[in-house]
Amino acid sequence: EHSIFAGPIRPAMPPGTPPVLADERFRFASVAFARYNPTSVEGVVTELPFGPNHAIRSRLLEGMRLCESIGPCGRNYPMGSETELLLRLRARGEGVVFVPSAPVVHVIEPHQVSLRWLWGRGFRFGRGQVRLDPDVSSRQLLGAPRYLFREAAVAGVQAAYGTVINSRRKWERVIAMGIACGAIREYRALGAQPASVTMRTT
């Protein structure tokens, strides 16, 4: 009766990972490491799965194409290609079944637990959020919603004052700053050159 399935994603952190990043309560664990575990029982869930652990029946993809304007392309791109596809499937009425007995261990590389990499991850995530759900109603500044500039500035100041490298605030605010900066970049890019959605076959 169902066609989309998702299982838990458990990040396997490298030796020397700051404890705050390995903590399941870390605010951006899903953004940074694709951690996914919405419930402990099998059943339909509202949370869309992440790329490392989901399955879609092939019949659902007949006649569908993947969007080429979002997803991996070089080192700097708007994240969210699987999410974009899943959003379209959900709009058609398809639900997601969570299967807790089908976990995946997602290996995290040492360079992925650095401030620089996590800022970049946030940047790509922010770009993708604009592609997936742009804010067209808020007041604009330099081609992007004004609140994003405030969020980027506040997060930057808070990250700078989180001088203890293992402090939760420092890590979280670095990612938050990346998200805001990535969103600003994408709004400005789309404003300068209207996006054309190019599709590729599955």
The pLDDT tens digits for 165-189 are 668 888 999 999 999 999 999 999 9
Start-to-end CA distance of the chain, whole Å, equals 23
Quote the pLDDT of residue 159. Answer: 87
Lowest mean pLDDT among 14-18, 27-31, 92-96, 161-165: 161-165
Burial (0-12, 13-18, 19+ Cβ within 10 Å), 111: exposed
The pLDDT tens digits for 141-161 are 999 999 999 999 999 998 887
| Model confidence band, residue 164 (pLDDT cutoffs 50, 70, 90) | low
Give the burial string for 157-166 (b: 16+ CB within 10 Å, else e).
ebbeebeeee
The mean per-residue pLDDT over the stretch 28-51 comes to 95
Contacts of 80 (CB under 8 A, 6+ apart): 70, 71, 125, 128, 129, 131, 132
The mean per-residue pLDDT over the stretch 70-79 comes to 88
Task: Tell me the whole-structure pTM to 2 decimals.
Answer: 0.89
Average per-residue pLDDT for the chain: 90
| pLDDT of 87 strictly over 80 | yes
Tokens of 11: 């990040």
Quote the pLDDT of residue 197. Answer: 41
Quote the pLDDT of residue 191. Answer: 84
| pLDDT of 199 strictly over 80 | no
Q: Please give the Cα distance from 58 to 85 (Å, whole number).
A: 13
The mean per-residue pLDDT over the stretch 34-42 comes to 95
